[in-house]
Chains A and B, each alone.
Chain A
Amino acid sequence: EVQLVQSGAEVKKPGESLKISCKGSGYSFTSYWIGWVRQMPGKGLEWMGIIYPGDSDTRYSPSFQGQVTISADKSISTAYLQWSSLKASDTAMYYCARPSYYYDSSGYYFRWFDPWGQGTLVTVSS
């Protein structure tokens, strides 16, 4: 069974750093992209970015470029989402998910997300 298991909830203060994780199992971790999705309290889903653990090729949504860092350690089948200096506005649920994708002469394009991790709640408050 393909599974994504995320790290537990975090409570941090503004200005602190944080790295949350997403461990894949049941499939070849280096052969599939992994994406991150944000859901702020009471709001909708936002596509943040994705990484291909096989070669660490990383793509960010323009809204999140420079705000977070996505990385992966293929030796332990784990992807990460990292902040260097948290803000109160980073308070949200963060999901990892595996996207289906298509590749042609124009490059990659990403399709549906399945499966999803259970989510990691990040709370940033002074």
Chain B
Amino acid sequence: QSVLTQPPSVSGAPGQRVTISCTGSSSNIGAGYDVHWYQQLPGTAPKLLIYGNSNRPSGVPDRFSGSKSGTSASLAISGLQAEDEADYYCQSYDSSLGGVFGGGTKLTVL
């Protein structure tokens, strides 16, 4: 059971917009710690997608965006493309546990 809760799967058709939620608690996201998102393509290492709740590293398309409110955060992907099919993980910091990840969400592009 992960400290941060994500839906196991989401799906969408090419061109559509999907969102992935990440729900924490008062000891992590709700305590003010920021949230980061990673994309993991099959057979590869995770890649940083969003850092500090809503910032994109250089090279990440602006179709990807992040937000945070209260004890939750969200990753939005607009203009869905086939190559976005991957696993997505949120990550934050917990005052008791240290670094924590969500359980991951598998995105299927229909």
- 1/0 per position for B37-58, CB-CB distance to A under 8 A? 0100000011110011000010
Question: A44 and B45 in contact (CB under 8 A), knowing A100-B51, A111-B51?
Answer: no
Asked if B100 CB lies within 8 Å of chain A CBs, one says yes
Tell me the bound Cα distance from A62 to B100 in angstroms. 11
- 1/0 per position for B11-35, CB-CB distance to A under 8 A? 0000000000000000000000110
- 1/0 per position for B65-101, CB-CB distance to A under 8 A? 0000000000000000000000001010100011111
Tell me the bound Cα distance from A103 to B101 in angstroms. 21
Q: Which residues of A contact B33 (CB under 8 A)?
A: 109
Cross-chain contact A111 with B93 (CB below 8 angstroms): yes
The bracket for how many chain B residues form the interface is 20 to 34
Cross-chain contact B45 with A114 (CB below 8 angstroms): no
Q: In residues 86-104 of chain A, which contact B (Cβ within 8 Å)?
A: 95, 97, 99-100
Tell me the bound Cα distance from A39 to B101 in angstroms. 11
- 1/0 per position for A90-126, CB-CB distance to B under 8 A? 0000010101100000000111111111110000000
B85 to chain A, nearest CB (A): 17
- SS of A interface (majority): strand
- 1/0 per position for A45-66, CB-CB distance to B under 8 A? 1110110000000010110000
Interface positions of A (Cβ within 8 A of B): 35, 37, 44-47, 49-50, 59, 61-62, 95, 97, 99-100, 109-119
Q: A95-B45, A100-B51 are in contact. List 12 more A-B contacts (CB 8 A).
A: A45-B38, A46-B101, A50-B99, A61-B98, A110-B98, A110-B99, A111-B36, A111-B51, A112-B91, A113-B91, A116-B47, A117-B45
Interface positions of B (Cβ within 8 A of A): 2, 33-34, 36, 38, 45-48, 51-52, 57, 89, 91, 93, 97-104
CB-based closest 9 A-B pairs: A47-B99, A112-B36, A44-B104, A114-B48, A112-B51, A116-B45, A45-B101, A44-B103, A109-B93
